[in-house]
Structure 1
Amino acid sequence: MGLSKEMIKAGLDHVGAVEPRLAAAVAQSGYPEPRIRPEGYETLLRTIVGQQVSVASAAAVWNKLEARLGQGCPPERLIETEFDELRTCGLSRQKQGYARSLAELILSGGLDLANLPEQDDEEAIALLTTIKGIGRWSAEIYLLFAEGRADIWPAGDLAIQIGVGNFLDLPERPSEKELRDIAEAWSPHRGAVAIFTWHHYHVMVM
């Protein structure tokens, strides 16, 4: 689902009205495009595959996995595939453990992604982080990109820390805790600010 272009613009305009430094950054970098991912198993599996590797490397591994397992890497196919076969696709032993744990939870019904707590983001994050290999950042990314939760704020993300530090003209990069404190005033539109900040960061480094 994700946040639509209209929702992102409305959220940024709302926050920009009370934070002129954000409004100035939006005027400089432009409004970002939406970042939308499908809800469910495939997006979480792709998150695991993409951990600690470049976007290009993650895409290459995913393409090899789909070629071997089928579109979306169905959980039953993943479970029955031997270690060496998955390793030839570029999936490390550790990531295989995480991927198999996710697939087993999906197949057993131990995790129902269609029924995450709707009103409480922290409860949904807590449930997602029970999956091996899914930390807070990964859970927040899923809830923002796949579910379109408007107030998700991945304050542990390095690019967001650098980007916010830049447009607020802070003397040094804020810590995760400092960034959470700073963004309290931007609720309930922190998701739109996060999506913009990634966009702003990439404009900065290009």
Structure 2
Amino acid sequence: MTSSSPDWVADGLRAIAAADPPLAAVTERAGPLPWRRRPRGFPGLLRAICGQQISNRAAGAIWARLRAVPGALEPAGLLTLDDSVLCGVAGLSRPKASHARSLATAIVEGRLRLDALPAMTDDEAVAHLCAVRGLGRWTAQVHLLFAEERADVFPDGDLALAASLAHLRGLAARPTQRELVVLAEVWRPWRSLAARLLWHHWRHATGRPGTDPEDDG
């Protein structure tokens, strides 16, 4: 899904250009940075669960089937669906179906307060999301980046980001997660934007569209 970017993006791009000119120059080779969004709230988190540990193409196919199921995009509605629908029709694995129900249950019971996320810091929001079984740190960070459009969230466990940075910098090996955390400090407080630029670079370098955890609608 592409759409116009938030107002803060222009300031972020200028700051990244000053701090890391090679990263900012990605758009000169790869073209304008597409601004991808995911839906907020329950649908966005459900989409993130679909994408856990599988290719973006496979995740997109599952998501297309799941969102076509009546009631699936509402917590109470999803809880009425059994595995014959979630797994058989939509194509979720049984663990992911379980995670989807865990998410829906946490919302229905009031343990997960998505309406409170905007008032939380990035770390607080990640911790709040990760308290739900099936929502790990990567899932929480990707949701905050694409659905909440936060400016300084960096999914440091994302392998495509590590591969992209290694390619961009000409590194001999892909940085470890710990190394990536340190390297990303130069982009504060615009690490979300840096991540989008790195995914954009990797799509261009590999010739494979959709190598970031984007949503197609």
* TM-score, scaled to structure 1: 0.89
Residues 67/26 of structure 1: CA separation in 2 closer, same or farther (3 Å cut): closer
Q: Which residue of 1 is the match for residue 79 of structure 2?
A: 79
Distance 1:82 1:24 in 2: 49
Q: Aligned pair 1:191/2:192, yes or no?
A: yes
Q: Aligned pair 1:175/2:176, yes or no?
A: yes
Secondary structure of the 1:178 match is helix
Aligned residue pairs: how many? 204
Which amino acid letter does the alignment assign opposite residue 172 of structure 1? A
Distance 2:162 2:57 in 1: 23
Q: Which residue of 2 is the match for residue 17 of structure 1?
A: 18
Q: Which residue of 2 is the match for residue 132 of structure 1?
A: 133
Q: Aligned pair 1:154/2:159, yes or no?
A: no
Distance 1:46 1:29 in 2: 27
Distance 2:78 2:25 in 1: 47
Q: Which residue of 1 is the match for residue 70 of structure 2?
A: 69
Residues 120/22 of structure 1: CA separation in 2 closer, same or farther (3 Å cut): same
Secondary structure of the 1:116 match is helix
Asked if the contact 2:42/2:73 (under 8 Å) is kept, the reply is no
* TM-score, scaled to structure 2: 0.85
Q: Give 5+ residue unaligned stretches, structure 2.
A: 208-217
More moved, 32-41 vs 46-55: 46-55
| CA displacement 1:1-42 (0-9 Å, x = unmatched) | x98265334312211212232234333223311121221000
More moved, 187-196 vs 57-66: 57-66
Distance 1:111 1:134 in 2: 11
Asked if the contact 2:23/2:198 (under 8 Å) is kept, the reply is no
Distance 2:85 2:163 in 1: 39
CA apart distance, 1:75: 1.6
Secondary structure of the 2:98 match is helix
Distance 1:61 1:171 in 2: 36
| CA displacement 1:86-117 (0-9 Å, x = unmatched) | 22121221111101101111111111101026
Asked if the contact 1:150/1:191 (under 8 Å) is kept, the reply is yes
- Equivalent residue runs for 1:26-45 within 5 Å: 26-45=27-46
Residues 34/167 of structure 1: CA separation in 2 closer, same or farther (3 Å cut): same
Asked if the contact 2:145/2:153 (under 8 Å) is kept, the reply is yes
After superposition, the CA RMSD in angstroms is 2.0
Residues 197/3 of structure 1: CA separation in 2 closer, same or farther (3 Å cut): farther
Which amino acid letter does the alignment assign opposite residue 80 of structure 1? T
CA apart distance, 1:81: 1.8
Percent of matched pairs sharing the same residue:
41
Which amino acid letter does the alignment assign opposite residue 77 of structure 2? R
CA apart distance, 1:158: 0.9
Q: Which residue of 1 is the match for residue 103 of structure 2?
A: 102
Moved over 6 A (4+): none
CA apart distance, 1:139: 0.6
